[in-house]
Structure 1
Amino acid sequence: MGMLSAKSDYECLRDARISENMARMEMLGLLRCAGELSDIASSHRAAGSATPRNRKPPRPRGAMSMMTPLRRSSRLAAATPTGSTSTNRRSARLNGQSVQHKALPPKGALSKLAAAAAEEADDDDEEENLELVVDKKRVPALQERRCDSKGRGGVYDSVLGICCHFCRQKKLCSEEDCKRCGKGDLKQPCLGKTECSSCHSSNGILCRACLKVRYGEEMEEVRKNKNWMCPHCIEEKGIKKFWICNSSLCLKKRKIPPTGIAIYNAREQGYESVAHLLMDRLKRQAF
């Protein structure tokens, strides 16, 4: 019990500091000032409780509206008849006035008019686009800038160019007989881009370079084959096992990281294209 009742060194040091601080405060007169301030505060509280605040009685609701006139605009004041405080907005039919309705054309005529207007608008837009593309100065300049190599092309054109599914570049092709890229004719297809016979969508559009490097196919063979299908459709239909579209968009959908520039690695290992390299890898993973 003696051991438990004895103070620890920390408690002894704490008591010594408390007594030292109290003596210092007494010497500075802080304790006396604190007592005076507490007495002043208590006297103010007592005085406030003895005399309650004088509050004005609540004004009856609607008194101000009875004492002051309503503020209304000059337009409403002029339109309001004498003795009335509000104006009712009513239609001519409810006020007893005669209403004349415009005669509408029959339903068949409406559809014909709409179709004619839409066709006229399409013709105007097409003429504007053709005037924009078929420019006497613009087309020769594009011809001079077109490169001779049959790759992706070297001239980017947002109007004439068709976007490749893999490289996503709208470049003019370098095919000699291409009327779209050579003469600026929007109605003609691009001979330097493929078209899938199955989907006829942007997934089947590949330029010559991407077709060769990524899938090992030649543009001349694709043109001869009228039933040519893009790698995207071959993958979806399961025609060729382990054959996939290796564009970054399609690989991300399969949760496969994009390959980047993998053609050099594929050729070093003896593969014809990147698609053949990926096909071999998928076979190994399956077995």
Structure 2
Amino acid sequence: MIRDTATFVFRPPPALAYAARVLIKPCAPVAQPHPVTTSRQTLETVIAGIRRISDADIILLEGTPQGEPVNPIYRALGYDFPRLLTLDVRDCIPVEVENPLPKPWAISTFWLPNVVLSCDYLITVAPFKVVKGKGLFSIYNLLGLLPHNKYKGNDQRWADSLYELGIERVIADLYFTMPFDLGIVDARSKLVGDEEFAPQQTEDYGKIFLADPFTADREAAADAGVEVGYLKLIEESRTLLQLRETSNTEIQLYGSA
């Protein structure tokens, strides 16, 4: 679903009304304004929408590639919303979670922040970026939840160790291991360039893409006219899982005949 930012009002899915804890993953690894990071305005709109239907605890969770504290970044970006808990991935307890794919693309188990597993509804809110011709959207944004101390490479950046495995493959595995309920691509402005965390060529875009993360990213990619490698891998894995489920159902039916 594509919304105009001028009239965007977040109307939460019905399932969110029953959640006791809602986690929002923004893109805030550096103290740079939108579209390098998620805009305060979009986060404020999403939080207000949740509050209209729910008294759930709302948690904002982010990490940084080099493991620096994220709270100063929250303050610099104006993420000072009332009745909201801001957390840093590095302060969470990492727990090992198995990848449900029978044949993982790159990683069979992930270390994830324990707080993610204790939340009932998960939302990823990412800016609209096209970096080196590739779209980086709401599913890509989940990389920021990987604990730095578990994935850092020789230069202390987790990103490099993950890129060695094939970042598109890692993202596809992460999508299935840590499934988020809602993806929002915050395209108030659009970033185009060679660096995802540095101010570069930006332009007003005036759109919000909102759906399950796969659909939100697919719509954003189509709108930008770019390919997103991890979407192809996810789609392939979903097809294989559906075939596997169909095969298991047929075996059960024949077995009970």
Give the alignment's TM-score, normalised by structure 1: 0.20
Greater length-normalized contact order (CA 8 Å, ≥ 6 residues apart): 2
Bigger Rg, which one: 1
Q: Which has the higher strand share?
A: 2
Q: Which has the higher helix share?
A: 1
Give the alignment's TM-score, normalised by structure 2: 0.22
